[in-house]
Copies of this chain bind each other. A is one copy, B any other.
Amino acid sequence: MNTKEKILSKAIVLFADKGYSGLSMRMLATAVNMSVASIYHHFPDKDALYLEAVSYAFSGKELIFSQVWESDSTPVEKLGKFVRSLIDVITLDPDFHRLMQREIMEADAERMQLLAQGVFQKQFSLLMQLARELAPELDAHLVATSIIGLVKHYLDNKPLHRHFPGWKPEHEQLEVIAEHITTLLLNGLNIPQVRQ
């Protein structure tokens, strides 16, 4: 890993944690044990550094779901695998996830399009195709959105829900979340289930 990549990977963590305006070049320089001027040798300005960090965080994320789509499972099995994979991606790389959350909240239309097409589009298309197989009578875009929404909400709001009535530690176990969501979805999509 060269110097530039070293800076970028630290920047991902710190931008994810503090946001664009919350992280100063001084802080980043200290974190990577360099002077501010040295960072400016690699990037023209803070904005370019931020954008490069976001793209860098993307790289490789597309391949994680390949096991879901390439397997010759039934659509119902694929749904279970997708839910589980999405939970894993979000859980295993929390910095990537937080950076995405911030981008979705703060990006302008141009950056949003980059985000949609560069990172998520392929997976969303494949998920829509699965949605069509599972529930041909429903709007595939809305169904795909619902699947992602259910998973993301659980994970995004975990620290909040801990303080809600009825919360149990097991609600944070990934298997419990995954099973609840798939059950809800399979019923919601009108698919008869076989008891395991």
Q: Which residues of A contact B (CB under 8 A)?
A: 18-22, 98, 101-102, 104-107, 109, 112-113, 115-117, 120-121, 124-125, 128, 138-146, 148-150, 152-154, 156-157, 159-168, 171, 177, 180-181, 183-185, 187-190
CB nearest neighbor in B for A170 = B139
Chain B nearest CB from A113 CB (Å) reads 5
Q: Give the docked Cα–Cα distance between A49 and B21 (Å).
A: 19
Q: Please, how many angstroms separate the alpha-carbon atoms of A145 and B181 in the complex?
A: 11
Selected contact of A104 from candidates B144, B152, B160, CB within 8 Å: B160
A121 contact set on B, CB distance < 8 A? 163-165
Q: In the complex, A180 Cα to B19 Cα: how many Å?
A: 34
A-B contact pairs, 27 of them (CB 8 A): A18-B21, A19-B22, A19-B106, A20-B22, A101-B105, A102-B105, A104-B157, A104-B159, A104-B160, A105-B156, A112-B159, A115-B160, A120-B160, A121-B164, A121-B165, A125-B165, A138-B183, A141-B161, A141-B165, A145-B153, A145-B161, A146-B150, A146-B153, A149-B157, A152-B153, A153-B153, A188-B188
